[in-house]
Amino acid sequence: MDVAFVLYPRMTALDLVGPYEVLAHQPEVTAHFVAASPDPVTTDAGLAVVPTTTFAELDRADVIVVPGGGGWAEALADGVVAAWLRAVHPTATWTTSVCSGSTLLAQAGILAGRPATTHWALRDELAALGAVVRTDRVVVDGTVVTGAGVSAGIDLALTLVGLLWGDERARFTQLFIEYDPEPPHEVEVPGEPAADLVAFARGVFAGR
Amino acid sequence: MDVAFVLYPRMTALDLVGPYEVLAHQPEVTAHFVAASPDPVTTDAGLAVVPTTTFAELDRADVIVVPGGGGWAEALADGVVAAWLRAVHPTATWTTSVCSGSTLLAQAGILAGRPATTHWALRDELAALGAVVRTDRVVVDGTVVTGAGVSAGIDLALTLVGLLWGDERARFTQLFIEYDPEPPHEVEVPGEPAADLVAFARGVFAGR
């Protein structure tokens, strides 16, 4: 099973590594890290990761994972990720995104009229691109699975492991990565975040 | 504030990227990725990450983060990480580990007689190295903070943000990365895991 993890400049590393950690250890999986060129890709807080292939070389995948990140707007403007998704999505059993990665799926036409989720600060942007925005942490619709912001990629990938190989496998994976969270604070993602909070969060996305 | 993230072959990417995502965006932080050489380091399911400095070059840090991973036993045998930790730990305000990274802290003498946590499958190994093993997800003792397996690095780093900059900062960081988890299954980390489960998990560590 070929799993393609999409890389682009100023993506968020945890959007990639959450799903990677859950999926890439599965014995059936061959992980591909696909980018515009073979050069290392620097994520939005400085960690650089190394592609194993390029958009030009990889023309199919069983599972596609598109992370979000600080560079989401530049990736939309660039259009290279969406062009690749348009070509490769029809070959995939599952096409997935984490956080603002959903905007790239939408740009590729994959979310037209579909229910989908994204980071809480970018719901309006996703709606403007044609998706039916949900506030859920993970949304499964047909062969498309979208996750909310950043850490939601872990929940998304564990859901996908259950769909691919059943609940027992998903439970062991969850136990192995000790996903038995104890966040130090009570923080609930807002159903309708205040405008100033959204503006501040968008600033963090833009600036980092 | 210089934060040193330690890299070594076959470490677990999420052990690194959980804390990185929480810490490296903080405006005060300069992130350093420190390894034996400048060459990319391949983690235990294939993703390669790029060091920014070497153990020889970096002789101090305000915060040290030591990930665990499939390569923990080789890293112990190699001894290079522990030698660096022995030299640099006295310069640090906080020295931290995730998962089996605690065994490297222990090898460096940092956990002698101290309460500390680790992955549930490696508690006996950590005890044999002189730590007083706890089953908690995060243990703070003096200037040393240890986290349990893999995803616990997120909880550890959010705890550290609270200690460094206060609860309001920690709460916004937690909200920004949407750490409002909804694991798809009810999975509790065992207080006393069955021997066959521990053996299986150690096999996953060794083989991957």
Residue B65 near residue B161 (C-beta atoms within 8 A)? no
Rounded Cα gap, residues A151 and A16, in angstroms: 10
Q: Which residues of B123-143 are buried (b: 16+ CB within 10 A; e: fewer)?
A: bebbeebebebbeebbbbeee
**Interchain CB distance below 8 Å, A178 and B18:** no
Query: Which of the residue ranges A85-89, A200-204, B133-137 would you say has the lowest mean pLDDT?
Result: A200-204
Candidates B81, B99, B111, B157; catalytic one: B99
Mean per-residue pLDDT over chain A, rounded: 94
Q: How many CB atoms lie within 10 A of CB A112?
A: 12
B149/A contact by beta carbon, under 8 A: yes
Residue A108's φ and ψ, nearest 5 degrees, are -80, 0
CB-neighbour burial class of residue A145 (10 A; exposed 0-12, middle 13-18, buried 19+): buried
Does residue B208 carry a pLDDT above 60? no
B12/A contact by beta carbon, under 8 A: yes
Does residue B101 carry a pLDDT above 90? yes
Residue B95 near residue B85 (C-beta atoms within 8 A)? yes
Task: Say whether A164 sits in a helix, a strand or coil.
Answer: helix
Task: Say whether B117 sits in a helix, a strand or coil.
Answer: coil
Mutation site for B-interface testing, chosen from A178, A188, A197 by largest number of B Cβ within 10 Å:
A178
pLDDT digits (tens, 9 = 90+) for A145-172: 999 999 999 999 999 999 999 999 999 9
Residue A162 near residue B184 (C-beta atoms within 8 A)? yes
Q: Which residue has the tokens 């994959």?
A: A110
B120 DSSP 8-state letter: G
A208/B contact by beta carbon, under 8 A: yes
Within 8 A of B184 by CB-CB distance, chain A residues are 138, 155, 158-159, 162, 170, 174
Residue A141: predicted pLDDT? 98
Mutation site for A-interface testing, chosen from B28, B34, B47 by largest number of A Cβ within 10 Å:
B47
Does residue B172 carry a pLDDT above 80? yes
**Interchain CB distance below 8 Å, A179 and B151:** yes
Rounded Cα gap, residues B7 and B18, in angstroms: 14
Q: Write out the two tokens for B117.
A: 């946590």
Rounded Cα gap, residues B149 and B144, in angstroms: 16
Determine the average pLDDT of the residues in B11-28: 96
pLDDT band (50, 70, 90) for residue B197: confident
Closest chain A C-alpha to B141 CA, distance in angstroms:
16
Q: Is the dihedral of CA B117, B119, B120, B126 positive or negative?
A: negative
How many residues in total does chain B contain? 208
Question: Of the candidates A45, A150, A178, which has its C-beta nearest B120's C-beta?
Answer: A178
Residue B70 near residue B206 (C-beta atoms within 8 A)? yes
B57/A contact by beta carbon, under 8 A: no
Does residue A208 carry a pLDDT above 70? no
Rounded Cα gap, residues B186 and A21, in angstroms: 19
A65 DSSP 8-state letter: E
B207/A contact by beta carbon, under 8 A: no
B168 alpha carbon, distance to own chain's centre: 24
**Distance (Å) of CA A33 to CA A7, A11, A39, B21:** 7, 13, 11, 19
How is domain A2-205 classified at the CATH fold level? Rossmann fold (3.40.50)
Q: How many CB atoms lie within 10 A of CB A60?
A: 12
B130 DSSP 8-state letter: T
Query: Which of the residue ranges A137-141, A189-193, B17-21, B113-117 would you say has the lowest mean pLDDT?
Result: A189-193
Residue B164: predicted pLDDT? 96
Question: Of the candidates A14, A158, A189, which has its C-beta nearest B17's C-beta?
Answer: A14
Determine the average pLDDT of the residues in A100-106: 98
B116/A contact by beta carbon, under 8 A: no
Residues 6+ positions from A60 with CB-CB distance below 8 Å: A2, A88, A91, A92
Does residue B192 carry a pLDDT above 90? no
Q: Write out the two tokens for A130.
A: 């044609």
- The one-letter amino acid code at A63 reads V
**Interchain CB distance below 8 Å, B150 and A204:** no
**Interchain CB distance below 8 Å, B183 and A187:** no
Residues 6+ positions from A95 with CB-CB distance below 8 Å: A63, A64, A66, A85, A89, A105, A110, A143, A144, A145
ipTM of the complex: 0.94
B13/A contact by beta carbon, under 8 A: yes
Does residue A10 carry a pLDDT above 90? yes
The size of the A-B interface in CB pairs under 8 A is: 185
**Interchain CB distance below 8 Å, A179 and B162:** no
C-alpha torsion B37→B75→B72→B202, nearest 10: 130
A179/B contact by beta carbon, under 8 A: yes
Residues 25..54 of B with a Cβ closer than 8 Å to A: which?
25, 31, 33, 40, 44-50, 52
**Which helix (H) or strand (E) covers residue B30, if one does?**
strand B30-35
**Interchain CB distance below 8 Å, B31 and A24:** no
Residue A185: predicted pLDDT? 86
Q: What share of chain B is helix, strand, coil (3-state, %, to 5)?
A: 40, 20, 40
Question: So which residues of A are the catalytic ones?
Answer: 99
Q: Is the pLDDT higher at A74 or at B207?
A: A74
Let me know if B99 is a catalytic residue.
yes
Residue B118: predicted pLDDT? 97
Pick from B3, B167, B110, B5: nearest CA to A183: B167
How many residues in total does chain A contain? 208
Does residue A28 carry a pLDDT above 80? yes
Does residue B60 carry a pLDDT above 60? yes
